Every structure is written in C-alpha cells, then in structure tokens.
Amino acid sequence: MCGIVAACFKKGDVVPTLVEGLRCLEYRGYDSAGLAVLASGLPVRKAKGRVQDLAALLEEDPVPHSSVGIAHTRWATHGVPSKVNSHPHRSGSVVLVHNGILENFEELKESFLEGGTEFVSETDSEVWASLLDHELTKIRAEAPLDSLGVMKALNRAMAKAKGSFGLAILVEDLPGRIFFARHESPLVLGISDKGHYVASDVQAVLKETHDFIYLLEGNCGWIDDSSYQVFDRDLHPIEAKVEHLDWDAESVGKSGYDHFMLKEIEEQGIVLANTLSSTTSSKDRILPDFQVSEDTLRSFDRIVIVACGTALHAGRLGRFILEEAAGIPVDVDFASEFRYRNPLVGERDLILAISQSGETADTLGAVKVAREKGATAVAICNVRGSSLCRLVADTILTQCGPEIGVASTKAFTAQVLAIHLFAMRVGMARRQMGEEELLRRLNVLRASRTAIETLLSSEVRSHIAEVAKKYAYKSVYFFLGRGPDYPIAMEGALKLKEISYLHAEGYPAGEMKHGPLALVSEDMVVVALAGQGETYDKVLGNMQEVKTRGAKLVVLTNTEKKEAIELADDVILVPRTDPLVAPLLHVIPLQYLAYYVALERGCEIDKPRNLAKSVTVE
C-alpha cells in the first residue's frame, strides 16, 4: 500500500514523469498524493484526494523546474487522509516518502519530542524523517557529510526502525542524489539512458524503461542521473542484477476501456492462452522450467495452500483440482490466520503460496512460518522478482501482465490455470496420472478459450448488464454453489462487496437451511451456480428453498437445465464444457455482474473505498 516513484534525470523536467508514475501507482493508495523536487529549499506540494488533485495543484502552484524529485500516493494507516498527513514529510534536512509502517513510532516520537523536535502530522512516516535527520546530525558532527555518510546514517536508522519500509529520500546538503532503502516493502530501481528511478513497482515507470533491479530485503543505496549504488544491510556494496521485463507499456493503460476492471475481465481469453503457452513446452511438457524435482514432489504427504482474498479462492478451488489430479490431501488456509495458530507443518508438507502481487504481507508471513518449521514452499505469482518469488524454492509465474484494477479478475483465472498445471505435474510425479490423461487435460484447458470468449461476448455482457440494473438496489446478495462452485460463489460475493459496497456472501448451497435461510426476504438476491456436475439436483433443491421464501433468483446454468431455468427470475447461460474447467468459466459472469452493479450504483470501480491493491501491511 502507498506508492513511491522518484527519479534523477540528466536533463528535463522530472515532474510530468512523477505525476504519470503516481497515476500508474494509484491502485496502491489513493487518499492523498504529494511530491518534492530538488530546488532551493526542497519545495513540496501535497493534495488530499487523487493524483489528479495533485496535478491540478501543480498547475496552480508549480514547483521550480527540476530533474530530480520524489513522489508518493498514500493509503492512510497512521493519521486520517489529509494534506498535512500526506507525503513527502520533512524533518531538518531530510525530505522523504515512505511506504510501510514504523511500528515503534510512538516510542521514537516521544524521545524526539523530549529533545525539542516538533511534528506537524499524525503520521509514523514523519517520525522516520526525524529518525534519519537525527542520525545525519550525528554523522555531520563526525565528518563533513557525503553520500557514504548518508548511508551510515540510514543504516543506523534502519537498525532502530521496527516494521516495514520502502523509502525514497532527498537530503538538502547532498543535492543530485536520491537515497533509498527497503525492508518488507517492495522497491525497484529503473535504469534508462535518461536517468534512474526508484519505485514501489515497475508499473510506475514502465513507459520509461524495461530494465529493473529488484531490491532485496535490507538493501539501501542511492541513484543519481548517471550512476547508482546498492548496499546490503551490512553496508557492503553489491552488484545488483539488472533484469529486462518484457511487459508491454500499453498494458498499464486502459486501452479505450472505461475501467481497468472491465479491460482485465476481457483479457481473460488471452491470459489463458499466454499462461498455457508459457508453461508448456512445444512437446507438451508441463512447467518445463519448474525447478522442484519429481522425487521431491513425490516426497510430500500433504499440500498446504496459503493465500488471501481472491488468491485464496483460487486456492480453495485448487484443493479440488489437486486432490483429484494428484491424489494428495490438500489443506487451504487464510495466510493471515495460518501464521498465528502455530500451524502443524513440517518437512513432509509442501506449502503452495498464491499471490498476484507477491508482496502481500500476510502471505509472506505464512510462508516464512512454514519454512521455519521445515516445510518446502513454492508459489504461484504474477510478479517476477517479487518478495514471494525470492522466498520460495520455485515459482510458477502467471502471465497476466500487470493487474491494476483493485478488484482482482484476470489474476484469478491465471492462478487457477497454474494450479491445474501444477496438479498435473504433481499427479505425474506421484503416478496418479499417465501421459494420455495429461494430454487430454491439456487439450481441455486449451479448448476452454472458446468458451471463455463466448462468455466475454457483447451479448452476454449486455444481458448481465440488464440483470445488474434490475437488482442493483437490493440490499443483500447470497451466492450459492456446491463442490468446486462454492469457491466461485465466494469469489462472486467478494467481487460484489468490494466494488459495489453491497452486503454479499458466498455460501455452500446446502448450508442455507442450517441458519442463513432465516435471512431470506424479498430484498435478497440469490445467485445460484447450477451448472453441470453431480450436485446439480441438490442445488436445484436449495434454489427452491430460497425462491419459496421470496428471494429473487438469478441462476447460472446451461441450456439443458430446464428445471433451473424455469425456477429462475433471471438466467445467465454458460456454455456446457468439460467439468474440469466449468467452475473457472462460472467466475466470468460473476465478475461482470459485480462490475455492472457497481456501475449502476455509481461506485468508483477501479479504486473502491478503503482498499488498495497490494496489501503490504498485516
């Protein structure tokens, strides 16, 4: 949460790049934004609200022309969203932007207050600026300040700071350089002929460069317009590896769509094709680059999936896929719960962490706990070089390109596909599946693109938009599914609640009679997943239970299911497919439904209130 972008150019004005970088990072936080440039007195501009509010302020009250600057978009943790609490923060000669949480800020603030320091904001980040300024003052007393002196001060401050941080810093008496540090908050360096960049993620500067250094835990250093230096946590200089990223710069734009979410929903056919082609060889070898050996994959007694939110729902569906294909017991847990219950895991467990961003603090924490207990961890992740990728034995990289809408859509599809491939790999290793079955499954996955494209057609879309309009002002939604459709029901409910602010629950259809049936009234919409599969008859019974009690019934089914169609107030038809991929297809109409309900209600679809995309705090 919070986005940082900073740049040092050889020439030219840095402000347009900073503002554009903030726009690309706005999904990380959007309650206020600010920047500072290298000019006399290190001028700062801040605005409560969106990046566009900062841009408007800069038109009215521009900063002096400068080719060096730091900028920030905020997702409030300490202190309300306001101009004064927004970044950059200043203390003495230090102006900085911070992503993360300074956990011991109260204690530090207390001691600085006693020493006479004054604070203007309620934030922990201002205390970070003060902490660094105090360390710089001590260094200045030892010798004239140079860049190495700043590194020493930063290193001392890092040792005193508890919590997570990504920092970009200007120091008034050392112009021309931006200093940086990271611990448990992502930070990358961008390298180009024009100059150098520091950013929370690559998206911020993808229009400027495709060459990146993914900083490691405890790294710190500086950039200037023609060089950069990275140090480890013991202040030893390190040779950081520059990696070329082939993401298309266009992918961080909306390509004519009104919202990123809609664009990302409609990219799911391509995501499927890309993920499959990048994870199978020309000879149909599955995950040819995956480094964990067949022997190792055979050696586990259990797989434990840890993830959050949408990725967790992919994991819940993944449990069905893995148990069926690989014949291995699978447990699935909220990453945020797993780490706090002294989980019984050990050497015979394989941890599968799923995360779009690879920076979710809860997921990283769960993996760390499992590894400390001797488990092997692997990941499914969309961001090469992310903290999660570094933590695990190997990663299956999904091929979504950047996902920018806060509500995750295409990442879910890619995660489920990656689980299928992983399940096939584990199934082969454990001799639960032969070559012929593997090829059959691969063909089913490939062929599902046609069904996905059907669901993404304008006819389906406009029909769902009509249904959404009809029910947009009902107050409660229940999404019902059974078996592998239950995680899809949960995902449908999550999508709706996060972008339309309606109360929505995903429930196993058979559980309604054990309590929630008492809630059913005419103000409730029940979305029932009644596709193919052995539970169809049971779901039909559950649909009758809610219908007779007055709920409005929207049913996802296929043309053959006449009874379901007759019972429904509204029907969303899905193509009949192999059961292997049916649940995956069902998610697409639910994503559209959430989108159109939110649109009808006038909600901010790509930036829902109180949320941010990359949840780097616990």
Nearest to 582 by CA among 540, 504, 530, 507: 530
Rule CB under 6 A: is residue 123 a binding residue for ligand F6R? no
Enter the DSSP assignment of 308: -
Q: At what angle do helices 435-455 and 582-600 cross, to 10 degrees?
A: 20
Rule CB under 6 A: is residue 525 a binding residue for ligand F6R? no
Rule CB under 6 A: is residue 355 a binding residue for ligand F6R? yes
φ, ψ of residue 310 in degrees (nearest 5): -60, -40
The interface region with ligand F6R, picked from 41-49, 110-118, 138-146, 351-359 by CB under 6 A, is 351-359
Angle (CA) 385-387-285 rounded to 5° is: 55
Interatomic CA distance for residues 361 and 343, integer angstroms = 18
Q: How far is the CB of 93 from ligand F6R (least distance, A)?
A: 36
Nearer to ligand F6R, 86 or 363 (CB): 363
Nearer to ligand F6R, 221 or 402 (CB): 402
Q: Count interface residues toward ligand F6R (CB under 6 A).
A: 14
Interatomic CA distance for residues 119 and 38, integer angstroms = 22
Residue 168, SS3 per DSSP: strand
Interatomic CA distance for residues 224 and 386, integer angstroms = 24
Rule CB under 6 A: is residue 185 a binding residue for ligand F6R? no
Query: Binding residue for ligand F6R (CB under 6 A) from 86, 357, 398, 448?
Result: 357
Token pair recorded at residue 8: 């040092």
Rule CB under 6 A: is residue 615 a binding residue for ligand F6R? yes
Rule CB under 6 A: is residue 309 a binding residue for ligand F6R? yes
Q: What sign does the dihedral 566-571-574-580 (CA atoms) show?
A: negative
Residue 45, SS3 per DSSP: strand
Nearer to ligand F6R, 42 or 199 (CB): 199
Interatomic CA distance for residues 549 and 521, integer angstroms = 6
Q: How far is the CB of 37 from ligand F6R (least distance, A)?
A: 32
Rule CB under 6 A: is residue 18 a binding residue for ligand F6R? no
- Which of 109, 194, 263, 613 is catalytic? The answer is 613
Rule CB under 6 A: is residue 317 a binding residue for ligand F6R? no
Closest-approach residue to ligand F6R (CB): 309
Interatomic CA distance for residues 380 and 290, integer angstroms = 11
Rule CB under 6 A: is residue 407 a binding residue for ligand F6R? yes
Which residues in the 363-402 window bind ligand F6R by CB under 6 A? 363
231 and 220 in contact (C-beta within 8 Å)?
yes
Nearer to ligand F6R, 309 or 385 (CB): 309
Query: Binding residue for ligand F6R (CB under 6 A) from 164, 408, 591, 616?
Result: 408
Rule CB under 6 A: is residue 305 a binding residue for ligand F6R? no
Rule CB under 6 A: is residue 42 a binding residue for ligand F6R? no
**Position 600, amino acid:** E
325 and 432 in contact (C-beta within 8 Å)?
yes
Which residues neighbour 402 within 8 Å (Cβ) at sequence distance 6 or greater? 202, 203, 206, 247, 251, 252
Interatomic CA distance for residues 258 and 466, integer angstroms = 18
The interface region with ligand F6R, picked from 9-17, 182-190, 354-362, 423-431 by CB under 6 A, is 354-362
Quick note: the x/- pattern for ligand F6R over 482-521, rule CB under 6 A, is: ------------x---x-----------------------
Residue 308 annotated to the active site? no
- Which of 2, 8, 24, 389 is catalytic? The answer is 2
Rule CB under 6 A: is residue 308 a binding residue for ligand F6R? yes
CB atoms within 10 A of CB 90: 21
From residue 150, give the alpha-carbon distance in Å to each of 157, 165, 175, 287, 325.
Answer: 10, 17, 12, 45, 55
Nearest to 317 by CA among 409, 445, 432, 419: 419
Rule CB under 6 A: is residue 356 a binding residue for ligand F6R? yes
Q: How far is the CB of 382 from ligand F6R (least distance, A)?
A: 8
Which helix (H) or strand (E) segment is 349 a member of? Answer: strand 349-355
Query: Binding residue for ligand F6R (CB under 6 A) from 17, 32, 91, 360?
Result: 360
Residue 69, SS3 per DSSP: strand
Q: How far is the CB of 298 from ligand F6R (least distance, A)?
A: 28
Rule CB under 6 A: is residue 310 a binding residue for ligand F6R? yes
Strands 237-238 and 228-231: antiparallel
Query: Binding residue for ligand F6R (CB under 6 A) from 24, 311, 553, 568?
Result: 311
Rule CB under 6 A: is residue 591 a binding residue for ligand F6R? no
φ, ψ of residue 572 in degrees (nearest 5): -115, 115
Nearer to ligand F6R, 275 or 363 (CB): 363
Residue 2 annotated to the active site? yes
Rule CB under 6 A: is residue 91 a binding residue for ligand F6R? no
Rule CB under 6 A: is residue 66 a binding residue for ligand F6R? no
Residue 482, SS3 per DSSP: coil
Nearer to ligand F6R, 240 or 407 (CB): 407
503: β partners: 476
The interface region with ligand F6R, picked from 292-300, 306-314, 323-331, 570-578 by CB under 6 A, is 306-314
From residue 121, give the alpha-carbon distance in Å to each of 118, 124, 205, 254, 493.
Answer: 10, 9, 29, 35, 38
Rule CB under 6 A: is residue 590 a binding residue for ligand F6R? no
Rule CB under 6 A: is residue 280 a binding residue for ligand F6R? no
Active-site amino acid positions: 2, 613
Q: What are the residues binding ligand F6R (CB under 6 A)? A: 308-311, 355-357, 360, 363, 407-408, 494, 498, 615
